[in-house]
Chains A and B, each alone.
Chain A
């Protein structure tokens, strides 16, 4: 079988922040009633993390659950674990009105590290990137320039960005421009 690859072959750039295209990463969309016991169990059992509150990123050890909307979460896991996880989630939801879909190959993932992660993201999104506007561990679904994106901060020096795979090159270009070493603003 051919090897799965990420869209930019793990491209890397060093500027105001270090940008790494990571992945492939396992991403499973789960939609339904987020308060339903079956659904919460389906999400938490394979990930070992708590069910996220509104807008929360609940992550640990490379696995996690991201709150995406009032009826949608994104389950994160290792790429190789996706088929088994989809199967176990589907089995856990028999009889429950819900959707489980593997979207791993539809997305690209970037990791930003460095002291200027808030500033680099703020240059590209209309969202409030201040510590009050985007606390650590809160998922922000927004746009970056002209494409939809989602990101969250694990710490003040580390952020993860998810976008559609088809615009991975565009988003890498945006991030590189915003992280150009001569473009520091020092707002945050």
Chain B
């Protein structure tokens, strides 16, 4: 059973109360961008075995979006944090490093 702490309302929400929103920290490339950047934004996704960053929405709850760092193998949750961030906060990175020294995910490490 996967539960995530919603940082917007403080509820430890069950997976069935949440709506998954795919990968976190995507940078949007729109009109005027190169074909490669646009393709990457639309289609290219990480599919890691291990550390991953995701968007979730507290759908059967406060309704807000937030971000989560977790492990796709063990389901360990390293932390959840505000959706209004462009990169994982330092305390989240530290929590991951404690379990996975030398981890990396896209441009983050």
Interface residues of A (CB under 8 A from B): 54-55, 68-70, 72, 126-128, 140-143, 148
Cα–Cα, bound, A140→B10 (Å)? 11
B12 CB-CB contact with A under 8 Å:
yes
B60 CB-CB contact with A under 8 Å:
yes
Closest 7 CB pairs of A and B: A126-B14, A69-B62, A143-B60, A141-B61, A148-B60, A69-B63, A70-B8
- Residues in B neighbouring A128, C-beta threshold 8 A: 12
Cα–Cα, bound, A141→B8 (Å)? 13
- Residues in A neighbouring B59, C-beta threshold 8 A: 148
Of B8, B10, B16, B63, which one neighbours A126 at CB under 8 angstroms? B16
- Residues in A neighbouring B60, C-beta threshold 8 A: 141-143, 148
Q: Which residue of A lies closest to B8 (CB)?
A: A70
Is A126 a contact partner of B17 (Cβ separation < 8 A)?
yes
Mind listing 14 A-B residue pairs with CB under 8 Å? A54-B9, A54-B10, A70-B9, A72-B63, A126-B14, A126-B16, A127-B11, A127-B14, A141-B9, A142-B60, A142-B61, A143-B16, A143-B60, A148-B59
